[in-house]
Homo-oligomer: A and B are copies of this chain.
Amino acid sequence: MHDRLFIPGPVEVRPELLKAVASPQVGHRTQAYMDVHSATIPLLKKILYTEQEVLLFTCSATGVMEGSLRNLCQKKALLTVNGAFSKRWYQIAGFNGIPADKLEVPMGKAVMPEDLDKALATGQYDVFCAVFNETSTGVRAPLEKYSEVLKKYPDVMFCVDAVSAMAGDKIETDKLGLDVCLAGTQKCWGLPTGMCVTMISNKAMAKAATAKAPGYYVNFVDAKKYNDKHQTPHTPAIPILFGLHAQCNHIVNVEGLDNRWKRHLDMQKLTHQWVKEAGFELFPEKGYESVTLSCIKKPDGFDFKTLNGQLSKKHHCVISNGYGDIKEQTFRIAHMADTTVDEMKQLFKWIDAILAETHVSA
């Protein structure tokens, strides 16, 4: 029996989605492919609240984080840094010879909109990149406030890594004025790894068309050209598209968008309540807690390895250790994708029992 995943990605994938993933292959230039592709994009647009482009790239989110900078940055990029994944986006600029500055705050904190405003007022930047839901710290950035600031700087591209939030935490991309919003399929989408769903604004598309060395594999202009004919420029991850099509249908037509956002908020509420009752503390600063995953401080002497080992052995499920620089100080529980409130309740009962038995309580 496999371990059911309560880790912040990859997540548990429903058996019917795994079945869709394992459909026989079709040629990616055939009508059979185009039918699935063209049926999926409008559903993705609904889920992302956009009337602009939604494109599919066959790579992890990191590939499109890199692509966003290469397609859109012609002057200098400004990036929030408050955890492992936002730090990665900043590093990507360096690996591509793209000038970049960071707006850095300690892990667990969110970058404040005032600091963003101050930095953008210098006029040095043409791209701003923010990680919405820092998977390493469980910090949720104040996207709406960033959005207000960005309205003052219409020439600055607003790129958002929504990796562990998209399809779980409601993101109205057009209303927020996002130019890029990206996420891998293995988090809130509830699918296996292998594809990056990307919303791209018309403004970003126009700017990408003027790029000097945008790169070839993640090329926005090329991707749109093919998307218009219900294809991708390069061989797509066909199994993941099959799964994505089934999942989008489920999200829009079975569960319903509002129910999906509510379920995630309910799971967050339940988790916060358990954290408090069990005597733990959340790692993120108050008011900036992720809706889809909780990063929890390890009390002194807390034996995470034993807890997770027991969860696996007794109940065939696992939660996650901390990540990066705060690996030893934190652990993480995901409440995303197709997980239910009842499953979370069951998980917390199991954890409580193990903590009581092993005397490693908080």
Contacts and interface: CB of A to CB of B under 8 A. Distances in A.
A11 B235 CA distance: 12
A234 B63 contact: yes
Interface string A197-232: 000000000000000111111110000000000000
* Stoichiometry, copies per complex: 2
B192 A238 contact: yes
Nearest to A8: B27
A82 interface: no
Given A18-B22, A95-B216, A60 B62 contact: no
Contact of A25 (B11, B30, B92): B11
A13 B213 CA distance: 37
A320 B27 contact: yes
Contact of A22 (B19, B212, B237): B19
Q: How large is the interface on A (under 10, 10 to 19, 20 to 34, 35 or more residues)?
A: 35 or more
A96 B216 CA distance: 7
Contact of A239 (B21, B30, B215, B233): B21
A310 interface: no
A212 B214 CA distance: 17
A112 interface: no
Contacts of A240: 194, 237, 239
Contacts of A150: none
Contacts of A2: 23-24, 26
B95 A62 contact: no
Nearest to A7: B27
A249 interface: no
A28 interface: yes
A10 interface: yes
Contacts of A216: 62, 66, 91-92, 95-96
A113 interface: no
A209 to B, nearest CB: 13
Given A10-B27, A59-B217, A63-B217, 20 more contacts: A2-B26, A5-B26, A5-B27, A10-B25, A10-B28, A13-B25, A18-B24, A19-B22, A58-B59, A58-B193, A59-B234, A60-B234, A61-B235, A95-B219, A96-B216, A192-B237, A193-B238, A193-B239, A217-B218, A239-B240
